[in-house]
Structures are given as structure tokens and as C-alpha cells.
Homo-oligomer: A and B are copies of this chain.
Amino acid sequence: MEPARNNHLIIKRLGIDTQEEYYVYVRSDCQVVRSEGFESQTRVSVRKDGKAIVATLNTIHNPLLHQGEASLSESAWYALNCREGDTLTLSHIPPVESFGFVRGKFYGKRFTRVAFQQIIRDILAGNYSKVHLASFISACAGDSLDLEEITWLTQVMVDSGMRMDWGKRVVVDKHCVGGLPGNRTTPIVVAIVAAGGLTIPKTSSRAITSPAGTADTMEVMTKVDLTVQEIRSVVDKEGGCFVWGGAIQLSPADDLLIKVERAMDLDSEGQMVASVLSKKSAAGSKMVVIDIPVGPSAKVRTHLDALKLKYYFSVVGMALGIDIEVIISDGSQPVGVGVGPSLEAKDVLRVLRCDQGAPMDLRKHALQLAGPLLELGGRADKGNGIAMAEQLLDAGIAYQKFLAICQAQGGFKEPGTSKMQFDVVAPRAGTVQEINCRLLSKVAKLAGAPVAKAAGLECPVKIGDKVKKGDLLYRIHVESTGELEYVKGFLKSQQSIVVIK
């Protein structure tokens, strides 16, 4: 329906940040609201110069806006490329037809490929509210997708974004099914594998709920925010890269779904498989090693769950033409010593430089992943991958490759050091029984990670270590006294994070 003249409004900027959710703010006595029958929280179509987005309407009772004015949340402002004084048009949105497939799923109907196509198209067009997204994710939750549905969803997600093509038969990649603080194997694995002559165009994420993502860690040593053209030139030159994946549109629907999944903390095996493999397929990877750490505070809690995921990854990978090797690893405690961007970067450098004090568990875990990649990529014979990876690391070839990739990405710099430290020591002698990964991550975040790059903590002890009274359990790194007080306050109210028995 064509809007009447009276639903034009002049834009004023209020600067309200609602992240990727679009909001439009209007006066409660606004003519458009009355005539269209909108109320606060109605989802409406907002148009400017022929471009339209779907936004949630909020009304304002205050004289922040004059009659005839409207405002947009920052994301909506940028999406419509607004300037103060531009004109907006508001109108009703049609019902989201593809949501019928979600409803059908609750009544026992399977999703079809066409259903996923229409759902993902609507999600990318912004037609799904958070409530619709939550419902779609719920419809895929638990065991409700079969392998064919997962495969379709993955393929549709791949088709929804950009695809990279490296013009090569052998393109390898790795992925870790997350959850362990300090488990920063990626920079080491990429360096080894690229040093071994393989192509590994690795994209990584920034932290969302953790104290550091691989992109945050790499950012303290090099530039990670590269364009597609820059990534291509780095990989063409050095065989590998470690860049932030957020700027390139690989499986963009997945980015939207993951945010809501995190807010719900709802595991969905099907969604996870589709999420990981759609990104890998879009990135042009042909052989992928997937690391599944299993432990009480890791994402995957039991060996049985890991075996099922392994099966799913393998079958869906086959349908997408990707060779998958799944490594089920020990996820009972943090890997390495540092938690936080700079502190993890220091661990990575120690391993690459074969320093005396390098954390052996991080080294071992990286080799465990690099080995199979060298085998999958045809550089090492079956069973010899780890040995070859070890050689590349110990001879310093991997470190040279690491520096060369950093150079290609814009230069290498040493990670910085925090301004202040605070030690937590063993209150008595005993054996380390348990390390609470969740609380450890929380302390690192309260200390300022990942925003304060040098903030976080170092935890040099491992389960089974014997400690004397007064031995260091973990050292907190902060950039300001405020944050230090903050962490101290938190620690007082908590049970032990490193449990000694």
C-alpha cells in the first residue's frame, strides 16, 4: 500500500546504539503512529531513497524530537546511509511468509531445501525479529534436524554469502569447537602448515563472550582487519594468513544466528555443524581438521557427544566436498599459560621460538592439529604428520613463516606488557584438583580483556601439580587500579577458582 504524505518524517540523530538490531524512534503523538496504528515495539518498514529496512518502533514522550521528526538507532542510521534532515517513510510490513516453515517444523514437518532458502533470505533481509530468530533456532535445536536437513541448511548458508576460490585442489583449514581459555593453537598451526607448503587461508573471530578471540590475539602482533583483496595477496604470497573474518561476508546468515544462539545459550548440533562447515566451504577449504575439546566446562561435555558431532561433521562435510578429520582432545583445563590477547600472544611466540619456558601443552596441542593437516594436504605420509610438524617448528621454519605472514599482513610487533599485576597464591599445600575455566575467563574479562590488550591472567599450574603454601596459582594483569579493585572484589565473593585438595 502506498503511504500517504503524512508518514514522512525528518531524521534527527540521537546516537542510540542497539547493535545490529534496528530501531526507529518517533514521538508518541506522531501522526504516522496514530494513522498507521503503530504502537511501541511494532516492527515497521523504514524507507529512505528507495532503500528499506525493518526496524522496531519505540515512541518517545520527551521533547527530544519535534513534531514531524524521527530518529534511528546507529546501526539503522548507517544501514540507510542517513544524514540529519533526510526524510524517512514508515509503513507496515507484510507477515513473514517463510516463518510458516518454522511453524510447520513444530508440527512435525521436515524442513526442505526451499524452506531453508526462503528462511535464510528473510533473515538476511532483516525480516526476522529476534523472536522469530529464536523460534527458528529452537526449531533446529536438540536432535530435531536430520543429516539431510543439516546438509541443506549448510549449503543454503554457503550460497547466501561470498565464496572464495583459490584455484587449487588442496586448501586446508582448522576449526576448534571452542570453550577453553588460552587454547590459542591457530597462529601456530597456520605457521607450521604454511611452512609445510600448504594453502591455509584462516579467518578467525574476535571475542564475543570470551576474554580473547584469535583475531584479538593476532591483532596485538599484526594487522588483522584486511580486505578480501589483501587476504588474497597475503595467501598467494605466503600460503597462509590469520585475519579477522568479520569484515568479509562468508556465511553472513550464520553471523546473525550465532548472536541469538549465544544469548539463548542453546546448543544445537545441527546449527553448529552448519555454522562451521558453511564458513569453511565459503572460504574455499577442501580439507579441514576439527578440534573438539571435551571437558566439564568446554562446549562439548562428554566423549559420546563428541563422537556424534564427529559423525555429523564427516557426513555433511562429504556432501559439501570437504575432507574432514576430527580430533577429540582433552578439554579438562586451560591450554597454555596466558588468558587475554597479549598474554596468549606471548604463549604463541614462546612456542614458535621454542623457548625454554614455552607451554608444552599448547605446543603439543598445536602439533596434534598441524600433523593431520599436513597428512590431509599430502605433504606428509599417514602417521608422519606430527613428526613433520615438529621438525618445521623446531627448525624455526614455522616461526620464520609466522613472521613472513605478519609482514605480509602489515608488519610484526611484540605484544605489550600490562601496567600492574596481582598474584593469587596457594592458601595451603596440596595437589591441584580442578581449574574452573568459566571463572578463570570471567576474571580475565573483569581484568579488562579483550578491550585492554595486555590485561588478563597467567595460570601456570595444571591439574595434578603439587603446590606449596604461597606458590603462585595465577597472576592477574590489569591496566588500571580501578579494574584491579574490581577483580579483587570479585575474588573475595568467590569460591576457589584453582581447587587444591
Contact = CB atoms under 8 A, between A and B. Distances in A.
Contact of A95 (B59, B134, B139, B265): B265
Nearest to A92: B442
A34 B486 CA distance: 11
B15 A60 contact: yes
Contacts of A483: 35
B40 A107 contact: no
A446 B60 contact: no
Interface string A461-492: 00000000000000000000011011001100
A21 B21 CA distance: 15
A131 B130 contact: yes
B482 A35 contact: yes
Question: Max chain B CB contacts within 10 Å: which of A131, A143, A268, A482?
Answer: A131
A400 interface: no
| Residue among A2, A135, A489 with most chain B CB within 10 A | A135
Contacts of A138: 106, 134-135, 138-139
A263 interface: yes
Interface in A122-161: 129-135, 137-139, 141-144
A370 to B, nearest CB: 33
A267 B61 contact: no
A40 B15 contact: no
Given A4-B489, A135-B135, A142 B99 contact: no
Contacts of A501: none
A15 B494 CA distance: 38
Contacts of A264: 99, 131-132, 135
Interface string A14-42: 11111101000100100100111101110
A133 B264 CA distance: 10
B108 A143 contact: yes
Contacts of A102: 266
Q: Please report whether the interface of chain A is mostly helix, strand, loop or mixed according to DSSP.
A: mixed
Contact of A134 (B103, B135, B144, B446): B135
A280 interface: no
A127 to B, nearest CB: 13
Given A134-B130, A142-B107, A64 B14 contact: yes
Contact of A18 (B19, B41, B143): B41
A62 interface: yes
Contact of A493 (B1, B34, B40, B493): B1
A106 B35 contact: no
A6 interface: yes
A198 B103 CA distance: 41
Nearest to A262: B131
A28 B19 CA distance: 12
Contacts of A35: 446, 482-483, 486
B135 A37 contact: no
B2 A103 contact: no
Nearest to A490: B1
A58 interface: yes
A451 interface: yes
Interface string A86-111: 00000000010001001100111000
A73 B483 CA distance: 29
A499 B208 CA distance: 54
A172 to B, nearest CB: 34
A13 to B, nearest CB: 7
B60 A17 contact: yes
Nearest to A5: B485
A182 to B, nearest CB: 18
A279 B34 CA distance: 31
B60 A40 contact: no
A141 B106 contact: yes
A102 to B, nearest CB: 8
A347 interface: no
Query: Top 10 closest A-B pairs, CB basis?
Result: A15-B62, A106-B142, A138-B138, A15-B61, A134-B134, A106-B141, A131-B134, A107-B142, A17-B59, A17-B40
Given A16-B61, A36-B446, A138-B138, 12 more contacts: A2-B489, A4-B482, A17-B28, A17-B60, A17-B61, A19-B39, A19-B40, A103-B266, A106-B266, A130-B131, A131-B131, A132-B134
23 contacts: A1-B494, A4-B489, A13-B62, A14-B62, A17-B59, A19-B39, A19-B41, A34-B451, A36-B446, A58-B73, A99-B264, A103-B141, A103-B142, A103-B265, A103-B266, A106-B138, A106-B266, A107-B142, A108-B142, A130-B131, A131-B264, A135-B137, A135-B266
